[in-house]
Structure formats: C-alpha cells, structure tokens
Amino acid sequence: MNRRSFLKTSAATAAVAGLAPRTARAAVNANPAKRFVFMNLGGGWDSTYVVDPKPGFATVSQAPGEMLDYGNIQVWDWRPKVLPTDPDTFVKQFFDAYASQAAIVKGINLRSVSHDICAQRIYTGRQGGTSPDIATMIAFSKGFDLPVPYMILNGPAWAGPYGAAVGRVGETGQLTQLIDPLNAPYVSFRPTAPDEVDIETFHRATALRQQVTRGSTGFNRNRIQDFLDSLDRGDRLRDLGKSINFGGTVQTVVEIFRYNLSMCVMMQGPGGYDTHGGNIAQGPMQDSVFQQLFALFQALEAEPDPVNGGNMLEHTCLMLTSEMTRTPMLNGGAGKDHWPVGAVLVCGAGVANRQVGETGEGQVAMPLNLTTGAVAGQDLISMSSEMFAAGMLSLAGVESYDFFQLTPPLTALHY
C-alpha cells in the first residue's frame, strides 16, 4: 500500500470507527526525533546485567557489580573498577554521558517464550507475519519521501505491506554493487547514464499504463504504485549512496543520516545472547554493545545536522532491545532460559528521562500507568507489546491509532 492509498484507507477506517464510541486519543510527541536507530540483540538478553538489575532480590540471580544511580534511572555496572587505573566499562561511559536522555522500559508482557514470536511481538507489537515493525511504521509515516525510508544494515525486519519502504545493505555491503555496477566485476554490460534516463522514461510510461489497465484499484494498484515509487527511490539511492561506505557499522549509520538516505536504520548488536549455559558471557557481550553505542552517539554528536540544525544526536533516537529477557534464576548449567518479559532502552532525542514500568520479585512484570510509567498510583494496567509499540509510534510523533486502533499507547516514553 502506498502512502496516498494508505491515508485514504485509514481515513475510511477512521470514519467507520467513528460511528462507534471511542476513547480519546493520546497526544503524540510534539518534538519527536527525526531519525531512529534500532539495535537488536539476538537470542534474548539478560536484562539484569544492565537495564533491569535486581540486587538483593531473593528470586533473581544477579551478577556481581554495582548500581549506577543517575537520578531518574538506575543501571548495573557488571564490572566496576577495582583499581583507580582500571578503565570504566563502556556501560558506565555510555550512561555517564547520555543517561539524562534515556528511558528504560521494563515489564513488557510478551506472552511467549519463543524466539520468533517474541521478536515479532517486541518489534511489531503483534505477531503473524503481516504486521509491520515499529521502524517500518515510523519510516512509512514520517520518512516516506526518502530514498530508502528504512534501511536494514543487518538484523530482523518485518515490512508487512510496506515492503517498498524498506531496503537492505546486504551482509557484505553488496548494495554498493547495485549503486554503482562498476563495483560488480561479473557484470559485462552496463547502460550509460543517458541510457538509464531513457529506460526509466520507458518504465514509467508502461507502469502508468498498466495502472490504468490492470491496476485501477486495490492490490494491483498498490503494487504498480510501489514499482513507480521504487523507480524514483532507486535513482536517489544511486545518487546519494555513492558517497556512503556501506561496509562499516557506526560510520555507515552516520553517513546514511548525513546524506538523508533513510529515517530509520536497523543494526544487529554484537554477540549472541541465548545463554542457556554460561550466562556470565552476557556481561562482556553487553559491554561491547555499549562500546558500539557510545561510539555511535559520539559520532552523531560530532556530526552537524544540515537539515535540522545542531548536531545529529540532537535529532536521533535509539531503541535497543532483544526479543525477550532471561529467567530470573540460573539453571543447572549456569545459564538462564527464556523469559516472557521484555526490556528496552530508549535513548536520545524526544525521550522522557525516566524509568517506565518495573519488574518485581521473580522478575514479574508489574502493572503501570501508561502516561507516567509509574507502578504505583492510579490507572495501572499490564503492559502489552502492542501498547509498547504504539508508544514508540507516539514517541516518533506518529498517530498510533492508524496502526493499533484502540490500543492505548505507552505515552510515558515522551513528555
């Protein structure tokens, strides 16, 4: 579905829905980030290692370390200094620098302990294969006019019906060969630039004619519109992409944003987190994640933002998560198994600096107030993955009703 027809459809849906009583829509973030980075940690991270520590809890195996208190949020430093000359962990370095821009979300009920299902739920809010993920929904709604609204460096993605808005770099950066076929030595014939212009004119004319004859409405129309949109996107991807090094990670993200190629980027974090045995590996793995994030944030901070003013970081938001968390207690193999509760770090532009939700003894998700994130007081509700995903849309300034209808969004992510 292209944006135009989508907007029509949603308007129609809204009109029909308007016949029935509806709850008031929550206000979306008035000052959302202009760009989003998603980092996925595959396998299910142990949230007690950094974002959801449980020292002193009888029912949670907490790794040694010390609490870092940043006022509104607390995180765990799994390897504090012993000697003054010891280096700080990257966890500490990251939060020392950026804790004031961070929200930590705890206690998302995932209702499954399956990698696949939990991944679908934490990223799409739902499951079933046809629901788009948060990044796709944000990119489709707010970055539709960019060449590749949502670029996947690596990691999982669910485009749902909005596949035309999503693109991939490829495991070994093979996108560079599509951007400039001279990088593809196996290709023996390459049209010149004037040829390409003529070819596109031909493609556009036939596609428009097909839209009249075979795609006047519905599914067919949307597919042909996707083709037409992608012609334009492909051109701009080639033009802008020539200046980008797609072989890196942090630098690639910065360059994608510098050339305004995409609004959202997905990257796979280092490490494999499915530690059914040897859970202690979570510490160094998560530290390497924050090493990369620290480098990313510093690079974005050093990069001027020609479109929005200031530096890039001032307009960028990060979502770091994993498909699930791990059981509170260690098993017989010193590992931890799957746990159906999600935890997320959201950090950067537009984010409310607060803890959102909580887990209690046994790492059980506690009901929370969706507006304040507090787990005490009025209007407490158990947080579903739909509420979280709708909240991420709200954080991005996207009306979540268009995707989640009456699901109340977790607006505590923004002020």
Partner 1 sequence: MTTNAKKIAFGLLSLLLVAACAEKKEKEITPRDPEAPRADIAYLTDVQHLVRVSLDLRGARPTLAEIEAVENASDPQKKIREYAVKYMEDARFRERVKEIWNEGFLVRQDRPYFPGPPQLLGLVNEDDFARSATQEPLELIAHVVMNDRPFTEIVTAEYTVANETLAAYFDITRPTDQGRGWLESEYTDGRPVGAGILASTSFYTRWTTTDSNQNRGRANAWTRALLCYDFFTRDIIVDTNINLADPNVVNNAVRTNPSCVGCHQSLDPLASHFFGYFIPEDVGEGDRSYPIKTYSADLEPRWQQGTGRDPGYFGTYAGDPNLATMGEQIAADPGFSNCAVKRFASVLTGVSVKELDIDHLVEIDRLHDWFLETDYDAKRLIEEIVMSPDYRIAGPNALTSLELSDKLHGLKLLSPEALNRSLRDITGNKKGDNPAGFGWEMESPLGYDLFENDIYGFRMMAGGYDGNFSTAPAHTVNATHILTLRMASADASGKMVDVEFAKSRSNRRLLTEVDSDTTSEAEIKEQIVVLNKLLYGEVVAVTHADVTDAYTLWSTVAARQDPVYAWKITLGAMLSDVRVAFY
Q: DSSP of 12-55, one letter per residue?
A: HHHHHHTTS--PPPPPPPSS--SEEEEEEETT---GGGTTS--T
Restricting to residues 364-383, which ones interact with partner 1 according to CB under 8 A? Answer: 364-365
Residue 70 CA to residue 355 CA, distance in Å, equals 11
Could you tell me the two tokens for 244? 């980008």
Helix (H) or strand (E) holding 341: strand 341-348
Torsion on CA atoms 158, 203, 141, 340, rounded to nearest 10 = 0
- Applying CB under 8 A, the span of 90-98, 243-251, 362-370, 399-407 interacting with partner 1 comes to 362-370
- Applying CB under 8 A, the span of 22-30, 43-51, 224-232, 400-408 interacting with partner 1 comes to 224-232
Helix (H, G, I), strand (E, B), or coil: what is residue 138?
helix
Report the chain's terminal Cα–Cα distance, integer Å: 32
Restricting to residues 109-128, which ones interact with partner 1 according to CB under 8 A? Answer: 111-114, 116-117, 127-128
Q: Residue 56 CB, nearest distance to partner 1 (Å)?
A: 18
Among 96, 100, 219, 381, binds partner 1 (CB under 8 A): 219
- Applying CB under 8 A, the span of 29-37, 62-70, 180-188, 313-321 interacting with partner 1 comes to 180-188
Among 6, 70, 227, 259, binds partner 1 (CB under 8 A): 227
Comparing C-alpha atoms, which of 182, 326, 171, 169 is closest to residue 255?
Answer: 169
**Does residue 88 bind partner 1 (CB under 8 A)?**
no
Among 303, 330, 367, 380, binds partner 1 (CB under 8 A): 330
Residue 383 burial (10 A CB sphere; 0-12, 13-18, 19+):
buried
Restricting to residues 139-178, which ones interact with partner 1 according to CB under 8 A? Answer: 147-148, 152, 154-157, 159, 161, 163-168, 170-172, 174-175, 177-178
With vertex at residue 343, the alpha carbon angle to CA 342 and CA 349, rounded to the nearest 5 degrees, is: 130
Comparing C-alpha atoms, which of 57, 11, 87 is closest to residue 364?
Answer: 57
Asked if 295 and 26 touch (Cβ cutoff 8 Å), the reply is no
Nearer to partner 1, 11 or 67 (CB): 11
Q: Residue 185 CB, nearest distance to partner 1 (Å)?
A: 10
DSSP bridge pairs for 94: none
**Does residue 36 bind partner 1 (CB under 8 A)?**
no
Q: Residue 356 CB, nearest distance to partner 1 (Å)?
A: 18
Q: Give me the residue label for tokens 């996947």.
A: 152
Residues counted in the chain: 415
Nearer to partner 1, 60 or 349 (CB): 60
Nearer to partner 1, 80 or 170 (CB): 170
Among 214, 310, 379, 381, binds partner 1 (CB under 8 A): 214
Phi-psi region of 32 (alpha: psi -120 to 50; beta: other; left: phi over 0): beta
The contact pattern for partner 1, residues 228-267, with x = CB under 8 A and - = no contact, is --xx-xx--xx-----------------------------
**Does residue 89 bind partner 1 (CB under 8 A)?**
no
